[in-house]
Amino acid sequence: MTPREQQIYNDGERLVPGVTHNFEELVRHRSSYDFFRRIIEADPRTATPRIVDLGCGVGHGCYHMSSIPGSRVQGIDISALALEYATEKYKADNISYSVGDITGYIPAMQEFDYVISRHALEHVPDGLQLLAQVRFKYRMMIEVPYREDKVNPHHVLTSITESDFAHLDGVEIFFQDFHGGIFPESTPPKAPNSILCVRRDVGLPPISALGAIQFPVQPWEPTDPEFRQLLRDYWKLKLNGEASRLVRMARRLSWTIHKVRRSLS
């Protein structure tokens, strides 16, 4: 990492695709944004959705959401350095980035059609209580760590469970496992990594009624055939605990990553 990327990385709290973290984390991030996108595209909604990403980091999620036809995307993050990177690497004509502290931003925010956030509100005191003040027209989709049992000095909210969203109405709960799969509350994965709260406007159907989304939602995979096969082999070795071969596979993945930069964006 460059000195700037090291600062953005923030002891592991920000993902820079193709630069930081392992492949599992990349897949989990992209799977979340794919899930958000599929919900927005399946909704009976406006043809020009306005979307805000709270705690957008370097903007890779905003960039993915910006490919929704007719969309306008606003990224909010407390780090000016991360947003500087976003405007260089993840820019589009329909994306705007603004520096903002979520604590102050939410109470004064304008209404968006969709509000999304992935692993940001655990850094904010009373972050989940602030959700009651979020202004949205259609849906709010929030993802945070689930029952986090390890000490993370950057997280002020820990051990988050379903009960932490009980103060909100119109809520559906989903879980993401360590492989990036998305599961409904009725059939959770054996080892949830994250919990997703989706709150809807009273006029919209629940996610379970959207026929375009079938559960469990499978993890994201790159479109490049060679990389996809390498990734599948990597997961197989990971599950079987074959440590020495896993190291070699990780190297092969690193060597091919430059060929699929577009699919990692």
Answer whether 180's CB lies under 8 Å from 153's CB. Answer: no
Beta-bridge partner residues of 131: none
pLDDT digits (tens, 9 = 90+) for 213-229: 999 999 988 776 655 65
**Residue 232 pLDDT:** 64
Reading the block at residue 144, the tokens are 């945070």
Fold of 3-209: Rossmann fold (3.40.50)
Nearest to 100, CA basis, from 119, 120, 71, 129: 120
Domain limits, the chain:
3-209, 225-264
H or E segment at 174?
strand 171-177
Q: In whole angstroms, what is the distance from residue 209 CA to residue 182 CA? A: 16
H or E segment at 244?
helix 243-256
Q: Does the pLDDT of residue 259 top 60, yes or no? A: no
pLDDT digits (tens, 9 = 90+) for 96-153: 999 999 999 999 999 999 999 999 999 999 999 999 999 999 999 999 999 998 788 8
Answer whether 55's CB lies under 8 Å from 123's CB. Answer: yes
**Residue 262 pLDDT:** 43
